[in-house]
Structure 1
Amino acid sequence: MKKIFYNIAGVIVFLITILGVFLFWQIKGREDYNLTLMIEKNQPLMKSLAPLKKSNSLVFKLYLKFRNDGKNIKAGQYQIEGKYSLKELIDLLESGKGRMVKVTIPEGFSISQIVEHLEKLGHINKDEFYTELNKMAKDFPYPTPNGNFEGYLYPETYYLPEKYDEKILIDTMLKEFLKKFPSEKYPDKEEFYQKLIMASILEREALVKSEKPIMASVFYNRMKKGMTLSSDATVNFVYNYSKKRIYYKDLKVDSPYNTYKYKGLPPAPICNPAIDSVEAAYNPANTDFLFFVAKGDGSHYFSKTYKEHLEFQKKNN
Structure 2
Amino acid sequence: MKYSTAEKTFSRKILRLMSTIVAFAVILGIGGILYYYQSIGPVNAQNQDVVVIEIPKGASTLKIAQILKENHLIKNDLSFRILSKLSKAEGKMQAGRYQMNRGMDAASIIDNLIEGSVLRDAAKFTIPEGFELRQIADRLENLGLINREKFMDLANNGDFQYKFLEGIPKGVNRLEGFLFPDTYEISKGATEEEILTKMLDRFDAVFTEDDYKRAEELNMTVQEVITLASIVEREAQLEKERPIISGIFHNRLNRGMLLQSCATVQYVLGERKVNLSLKDINIDSPYNTYKNIGLPPAPIASPGKASLEAALYPSKTDFYYFVVKSDGEHSFSKTYEEHLKAKNGN
What residue number does 1:310 align with? 340
| Residue in structure 1 matching 2:196, options 170, 175, 179 | 170
Equivalent positions of 1:36-185 (< 5 A) are: 36-37=52-53, 79=99, 83=109, 97-137=119-159, 139-141=161-163, 142-147=166-171, 148-182=174-208
Cα distance in 2 between the residues matched to 1:151 and 1:115: 13
Distance 1:260 1:53, change over 3 A: same
Q: Does 1:249 align with 2:273?
A: no
List 4+ stretches of structure 1 deviating above 6 A.
Answer: none
Q: Letter of the aligned partner of 2:308 in structure 1? A: V
Q: Letter of the aligned partner of 1:307 in structure 2? A: E
Q: What is the Cα deviation at residue 165 of structure 1?
A: 1.7
Cα distance in 2 between the residues matched to 1:138 and 1:123: 20
Q: Once the two structures are superposed, what CA deviation does each residue of 1:217-251 show, in whole Å capped at 9, x if it has no partner?
A: 11121222322100000000001234233222211
Distance 1:194 1:237, change over 3 A: same
Distance 1:270 1:144, change over 3 A: same
Distance 1:245 1:120, change over 3 A: farther
Q: Letter of the aligned partner of 1:176 in structure 2? A: R
Asked whether the equivalents of residues 78 and 100 of structure 1 are also in contact (C-alpha less than 8 Å), the reply is no
What residue number does 2:320 align with? 290
Distance 1:302 1:97, change over 3 A: closer
What residue number does 1:266 align with? 296
Q: What is the Cα deviation at residue 53 of structure 1?
A: 5.3
Distance 1:293 1:129, change over 3 A: same
Cα distance in 2 between the residues matched to 1:136 and 1:184: 27
Cα distance in 1 between the residues matched to 2:285 and 2:153: 26
Relative contact order: is structure 1 or structure 2 higher (C-alpha 8 Å, sep ≥ 6)? 1
Asked whether the equivalents of residues 267 and 300 of structure 2 are also in contact (C-alpha less than 8 Å), the reply is yes
Distance 1:54 1:211, change over 3 A: closer
Q: Letter of the aligned partner of 1:246 in structure 2? A: L
Q: What is the Cα deviation at residue 132 of structure 1?
A: 2.2
> Identity of aligned pairs, percent?
39
Q: Once the two structures are superposed, what CA deviation does each residue of 1:114-146 show, in whole Å capped at 9, x if it has no partner?
A: 111211222211111123224544623233234
Q: What is the Cα deviation at residue 174 of structure 1?
A: 0.6
Q: Once the two structures are superposed, what CA deviation does each residue of 1:32-51 show, in whole Å capped at 9, x if it has no partner?
A: 99842479xxxxx99xxxx9
Asked whether the equivalents of residues 99 and 118 of structure 2 are also in contact (C-alpha less than 8 Å), the reply is no
What residue number does 1:29 align with? none
Equivalent positions of 1:207-286 (< 5 A) are: 207-286=237-316
Distance 1:252 1:106, change over 3 A: same
After TM superposition, the score normalised by the length of structure 1 is 0.70
Cα distance in 1 between the residues matched to 2:200 and 2:286: 26
Distance 1:54 1:312, change over 3 A: closer
Classify the secondary structure of the residue corresponding to 1:36. Answer: strand
Distance 1:312 1:163, change over 3 A: same
Distance 1:226 1:102, change over 3 A: same
Distance 1:127 1:276, change over 3 A: same
Q: Once the two structures are superposed, what CA deviation does each residue of 1:173-223 show, in whole Å capped at 9, x if it has no partner?
A: 111111112468626596222111111100100011111110011112122
Q: What is the Cα deviation at residue 162 of structure 1?
A: 2.0
Cα distance in 2 between the residues matched to 1:151 and 1:35: 24
Distance 1:137 1:256, change over 3 A: farther
Select between 174-183 and 137-146 the one with higher mean Cα deviation.
137-146
Cα distance in 1 between the residues matched to 2:289 and 2:337: 21
Unaligned runs of 5+ in 2: 1-41, 44-49, 68-94, 102-107
Q: What is the Cα deviation at residue 54 of structure 1?
A: 6.4
After TM superposition, the score normalised by the length of structure 2 is 0.64
Cα distance in 2 between the residues matched to 1:249 and 1:78: 54
* Number of corresponding residues: 259
